[in-house]
Structure 1
Amino acid sequence: MMLIGTAIALLWANLPGDTYEEFWSMPVGFSIGEWTAFFSLHQFVNEGLMAFFFFLVGLEVKRQLTIGELTDRSRAAVPIVAAIAGLIVPALIFVLFTASTGEAHAWGIVISTDTAFLIGALAIIGPKYPFRLRTFLLTLAVVDDIGALLVIALFYSSGISLWPSLAAIVIMVLIALVRFLPEGRGFTYAVLGIALWVVVLLAGIHPTLAGVAVALLIPVFSPRRGDVERTAELSQAFRESPNPMYAAAVTRSLRESLSINERIDNGWRPYIAYGILPLFALANAGVKIDGQVLMEAVASPVSWGIVVGLVLGKFVGITGATALMRAIGKGQLAPGLGMNRIAGGATLSGIGFTISLFLVPIAISDPHTQDLARVGVLAASLIAFFLGWAVLSVGDRLRPPQAIGAKLARPIDPTRDHLRGRIDAPYKIVEYGDFECPFCSRATGSVDAVVEHFGDDVLWVWRHLPLDNPHPHAQEAAQAAEAAALQGRFLDMAKKLFAHQDALETDDLCRYAEQLGMDAEKFAADFGSQAVLRRIQDDRLDAELMDLNTTPTFFVNGVRHKGPYDSASLIRALQAPAGVPATH
């Protein structure tokens, strides 16, 4: 859609006459009593509608910092440093090219990557096993967005007015308190968001940053087990006695089990992706391209600064920083992600379409120089796409990628693994799970049904994968299971833990050990022993090697199971010939 908007804008701008400029210069406005406000259509898109785009960016940033990739700072260290280098190096290159032109202050044009085009380009190129590269680039893009937002706020806002700024601070405090309202939070966020946009505009700060501020103040959290269970109970009640009261309660419970951050993102993203962003492209990509403009662009330091800054600067900054972090041992790439993939992703990061075009009229005052800058942005985006395609294609030919986690990394070891069944059984299931995960608890019923179906012909193996962020008690629950295993009671303790997932504090775990008749002193000593901790850490490292990040994850006869894990699906997968996926 953005490409279509860009193509229409270029075609329209190059038609005879000045209809493109005249249309986007058309004034629009509204008045209340004697107070009036007027904008051009171009300003309405760039300063009004784009506030929703930056609002969406802010939601993503908040989510990643709170419950996403950026919560694990050690794992995110490489893309964070690479993103920072990818902001600085292009800016320095642009300044070098434009130092003598008086436009060096427009360096912000070259710092940001267009996330939508970047991920879209990766989908078009379609390299094998792109997940880890995509995650790396998304993490990098979040940091890139944070940097771009800070640059806009600090370097491309006009003189700040005191009283509107104070009013903005008061409104932001009110927005932060909205989460405590019992009802009407969505409407209140909307009203206060509009008020913040107005006072930010009056304060001399670019008004799109109001969208970011609102997004960062909206809470985000992982679905809580109690809320999910409550929804299940209400659904059961509605199924047994359908009536409007239960229907409303189920709807409300479903809605409140997810954070408003995720609900808004899911609801608004299609309108912004397929409406506002293509409209932005239509309003900003229109530049007259004729022989004269192309000749001037070829000779323009501004155009060259943008092209070299985006294409070469992003490549050198991101690839160089990643290589340096690995060389000094301060960060590791995810399994299966090599420097050839990083180089390809870094080249694609030179696609700087949206924020680059957004900053052109803000950073450059001369209309003709703006056109030359737009030519540079469009050229850089095209060059980055085709060069990135070439780098990924050549790199994958020289070093073909391997599927990560498709097969079990470590064979079943009867002297170490927790088993249910005989070791020589023809059918084998290995489960990586988490004792606080409600889905793992429900999966035990599927495993029981599979065991009942095959009897002694199936072997079930448990390995630990505590997901610390959503399940803060999972690690200690795993320690309790291992301490119980040293007294021969692993399966008994596992049943206890799954049956009491809402009570997994240390005191609860010790009480379960006593209820099972275990030696309490030995259990307490083993609970925190290095042997138990190493045992769980070994399973974690296996999971990381195979790039496992969800529970439960099943390996059926040594091959990772994808799709539903109900008993019927697992039985079909176990009976499927080797190398042939089960049908669902």
Structure 2
Amino acid sequence: MLRAFFRTEAGSTSVLLGATLLALVWANSPWSATYEAFWHIPMGLSFGDAVFSLDLRHWVNDGLMALFFFLIGLEASYEVRLGQLQDRRLLAVPALAAFGGMIVPAAVYLALNAGGPGAGGWGVPIATDTAFVLGLLAVVGARCPEPLRAFLLTLAIVDDVLAIIIIAVFYTRDLSVIALVVAAVLLAAIMTLRWLRIWRAPAYIVLGFGLWVATLESGVHPTLVGIALGVLVFVYAPSEYKLLAAGEAVQGLTSDPNARAAREAARKVRMAVSVNERLQLQLQPWSAYVIVPLFALANAGVRLDAETLRQAATSPVTIGVAAGLLLGKFAGISLGTWLPLRLGWGLLPGNLVWGQLLGGAAVSGIGFTVSLFIVDLAFTDPDVQAQAKIGILAGSLLSALTGWIVFRLAWDRGGVCAPPEAEPEEELPVLLAEPVGPDDHVRGPADAKVTIVEYGDFECPYCGRLEPILDELLRKHPDVRLVFRHFPLRTLHPRAMAAALVSEAAAGKGRFWEMHDVLFANQRFLTDADLGRYAAELDVEPFPDVPAQAARIARDEESGRAGGVRGTPTLFVNGVRYQGGLDLVSITRAVEEQEQSV
């Protein structure tokens, strides 16, 4: 899901940038008067004497953007239930980084504007624009590790949720109690339908639209409705029953192709995946290529003539926004990352280094969509709005430039990031980088003729399929020993790191292989509750010393990368990387060849 989100948002960056430039050109062209005139054209619905009308800009900001935040709610719900955010150790660092990346920019802004007419704009520099950030990483850091993108996406999700809460709490005016009561009743009706498991899309659409109108009339910003409804959408992992039913339906279609069988197969395949994931797949292109660019076109147009720029250059609002994005975001995210790592509160996905994290912190100062959104809520004076928008543009451009410089410095110092055009085609080593030592997890005789070193991931399905094959191999060849080393693919398998930590906790009690077998036998059930249960059954404390366990796992990962490991499972037979088939016959043949050569 993370990869799909990244591809869509990064691919739409050029569209968003084009819409922004078009808005600026339009607002500074000889036809600039038509820009504001167009977006103030009223449009609405009438029922007899009742009229509901908004201008085009408010239809975009209050209507279409509710769908944008609905998508954020879907993404947040999915990540908490099934993805990156379900592991509290991986969530803690980006969550606190996001929190720091909001507190410090707001403080920087208020340091320049407290007590002045622009004080209410402290929320403008707090938000990170996900599409621009991930799009920039795709352009300037395509060789940067996937964990950096996963870290920044997690940070952006938390950032967006916190921004919406801030909008609802601090930028809501003139509450209407009657409209709020109506909104509460409609929300209760939606939750009742969900509780009764009544899945009729028209009912949810009608109630959702009514809830949006009631919330808009209440004075609470309707974006809160979007994220609330997104969080309420069901998300679940495909069950064995639904997968089997889908497989049987497809098999039935294959054996007897007909329209009825095709319809039934399509229905069962669709139902195997949660409605949350289906909605994300349908809405992400609309959000990325239509809604967000339209929002930019409606809001990014600002006059950039000499007088406007002169006023902005001395305006505390402009300077506060730009400094908040450039300095506040960088400092806040860096501090929010360092603190939980220093205190041992969480882990990073993958093996990120500070050069990469600082580059990510710098580009996170690109604030656009939500920042422009808050400008419209914080200020009513068009001149102040223009100054704030100039601050957003300046701060975002400077943040992008700073991030570019940090990444370039990382490349020049030989870091993991390297520009594609400067990096030769990779030739992977074939020899085991780290010999088997006393700290390794070994199953089999110490004087075995053949040693198989496996770099594995407890959540990797291919590793799971390999385990019975290796067990059979050891049973038939008592002169073979197996060494297991950790190589959790954290961005693909969010539970892999937690499982590896629990296995290391069991190793401390001399029960690594027992836990190893339990974890591979229960790959589909690796939540914290599941891991805690497995640990209790083996009389093991699941996470007694996370930093030490993580360091042990990191040593395995480092030795794997040095030996050319890029995925799991990867095997080394007597110190040479095995490149044959992962079946019993092929591996047995390689083992027997080694036995004969010894």
TM bracket, shorter-chain basis? 0.7 to 0.9
| CA shift for structure 1 position 225 | 3.0
| CA shift for structure 1 position 394 | 1.1
Q: 1:289 aligns with which of 284, 304, 308?
A: 304
- Tell whether the 8 Å contact from 1:49 to 1:276 is kept in structure 2 after alignment: yes
- Comparing 59-68 and 233-242, the one that deviates more: 233-242
1:2 has 2:16 as partner: yes
Q: Structure 1 residues 188, 110: closer, same or farther in 2, change over 3 A? A: same
- Tell whether the 8 Å contact from 2:318 to 2:390 is kept in structure 1 after alignment: yes
Q: Structure 1 residues 446, 264: closer, same or farther in 2, change over 3 A? A: farther
- Comparing 263-272 and 33-42, the one that deviates more: 33-42
| CA shift for structure 1 position 528 | 1.6
Q: 1:13 aligns with which of 19, 27, 34?
A: 27
> Counterparts of 2:518 and 2:102 in 1: how far apart (Å)?
51
Letter in 2 for 1:201: L
Q: Structure 1 residues 322, 192: closer, same or farther in 2, change over 3 A? A: same
- Tell whether the 8 Å contact from 2:128 to 2:364 is kept in structure 1 after alignment: yes
Q: Structure 1 residues 225, 495: closer, same or farther in 2, change over 3 A? A: same
1:528 has 2:538 as partner: yes
1:227 has 2:251 as partner: no
Q: Structure 1 residues 334, 102: closer, same or farther in 2, change over 3 A? A: same
| CA shift for structure 1 position 220 | 1.4
Q: Structure 1 residues 68, 111: closer, same or farther in 2, change over 3 A? A: same
How many pairs does the alignment contain? 539
- Tell whether the 8 Å contact from 1:82 to 1:317 is kept in structure 2 after alignment: yes
Aligned positions of 1:131-170 closer than 5 A: 131-170=146-185
Letter in 2 for 1:392: F
> Counterparts of 1:188 and 1:560 in 2: how far apart (Å)?
61
Letter in 1 for 2:28: N
| CA shift for structure 1 position 456 | 11
Q: Structure 1 residues 531, 269: closer, same or farther in 2, change over 3 A? A: closer
- Tell whether the 8 Å contact from 1:463 to 1:539 is kept in structure 2 after alignment: no
Q: Structure 1 residues 565, 257: closer, same or farther in 2, change over 3 A? A: farther
* Secondary structure, counterpart of 1:557 in structure 2: strand
1:350 has 2:360 as partner: no
| CA shift for structure 1 position 66 | 2.2
Cα displacement string for residues 222-263 of structure 1 (whole angstroms, at most 9, x for unaligned residues):
222332233223322332233344333322222222111111
1:372 has 2:387 as partner: yes
Cα displacement string for residues 256-280 of structure 1 (whole angstroms, at most 9, x for unaligned residues):
2211111101111001100111111
Name 2:94's counterpart in structure 1.
79
Aligned positions of 1:364-513 closer than 5 A: 364-398=379-413, 400-401=415-416, 416-418=441-443, 424=449, 430=454, 432=456, 434=458
> Counterparts of 1:7 and 1:368 in 2: how far apart (Å)?
20
* Secondary structure, counterpart of 1:417 in structure 2: strand
- Tell whether the 8 Å contact from 1:425 to 1:456 is kept in structure 2 after alignment: no
> Counterparts of 1:437 and 1:120 in 2: how far apart (Å)?
29
Letter in 1 for 2:63: G
Letter in 2 for 1:225: E
Q: Structure 1 residues 133, 501: closer, same or farther in 2, change over 3 A? A: closer
Q: Structure 1 residues 503, 128: closer, same or farther in 2, change over 3 A? A: closer
Cα displacement string for residues 529-574 of structure 1 (whole angstroms, at most 9, x for unaligned residues):
559999xx999876566399xxx93114389999998759x98xx9
| CA shift for structure 1 position 125 | 1.1
| CA shift for structure 1 position 342 | 1.8
Q: Which runs of 5+ in 1 are unaligned?
A: 505-523, 576-584
Aligned positions of 1:34-113 closer than 5 A: 34-113=49-128
Name 1:579's counterpart in structure 2.
none
Q: Structure 1 residues 474, 386: closer, same or farther in 2, change over 3 A? A: closer
Name 1:260's counterpart in structure 2.
275
Cα displacement string for residues 421-447 of structure 1 (whole angstroms, at most 9, x for unaligned residues):
x96559x5726354x986655556988
Cα displacement string for residues 278-322 of structure 1 (whole angstroms, at most 9, x for unaligned residues):
111111111111111111110111100100011100011111232
* Secondary structure, counterpart of 2:569 in structure 1: strand
Q: Which runs of 5+ in 2 are unaligned?
A: 1-14, 419-427, 527-533, 561-566, 592-598
Q: Structure 1 residues 213, 332: closer, same or farther in 2, change over 3 A? A: closer
State the percentage of identical aligned residues.
Answer: 37
> Counterparts of 1:235 and 1:203 in 2: how far apart (Å)?
49
> Counterparts of 1:121 and 1:502 in 2: how far apart (Å)?
35
| CA shift for structure 1 position 208 | 2.1
> Counterparts of 2:377 and 2:100 in 1: how far apart (Å)?
24
Name 2:45's counterpart in structure 1.
30
Letter in 2 for 1:230: A
- Tell whether the 8 Å contact from 1:127 to 1:393 is kept in structure 2 after alignment: no
> Counterparts of 1:78 and 1:497 in 2: how far apart (Å)?
28
Q: Structure 1 residues 234, 567: closer, same or farther in 2, change over 3 A? A: farther
Q: Structure 1 residues 469, 7: closer, same or farther in 2, change over 3 A? A: closer
> Counterparts of 2:139 and 2:460 in 1: how far apart (Å)?
36
Q: Structure 1 residues 313, 166: closer, same or farther in 2, change over 3 A? A: same
- Tell whether the 8 Å contact from 2:83 to 2:494 is kept in structure 1 after alignment: no
Name 2:213's counterpart in structure 1.
198
RMSD: 4.7
> Counterparts of 2:481 and 2:24 in 1: how far apart (Å)?
64
- Tell whether the 8 Å contact from 2:453 to 2:483 is kept in structure 1 after alignment: yes
> Counterparts of 1:561 and 1:252 in 2: how far apart (Å)?
44
> Counterparts of 1:543 and 1:115 in 2: how far apart (Å)?
31
> Counterparts of 2:349 and 2:576 in 1: how far apart (Å)?
18
- Tell whether the 8 Å contact from 2:104 to 2:328 is kept in structure 1 after alignment: yes
Q: Structure 1 residues 278, 396: closer, same or farther in 2, change over 3 A? A: same
| CA shift for structure 1 position 163 | 2.2
* Secondary structure, counterpart of 2:247 in structure 1: helix
Letter in 1 for 2:98: A
* Secondary structure, counterpart of 1:30 in structure 2: strand
Q: Structure 1 residues 46, 457: closer, same or farther in 2, change over 3 A? A: farther
* Greater RCO (Cα-Cα under 8 Å, separation 6 or more): 2
| CA shift for structure 1 position 328 | 3.7
1:312 has 2:337 as partner: no
> Counterparts of 2:152 and 2:161 in 1: how far apart (Å)?
14
* Secondary structure, counterpart of 1:206 in structure 2: coil
- Tell whether the 8 Å contact from 1:554 to 1:561 is kept in structure 2 after alignment: no
| CA shift for structure 1 position 5 | 0.1
Q: 2:342 aligns with which of 327, 339, 346?
A: 327
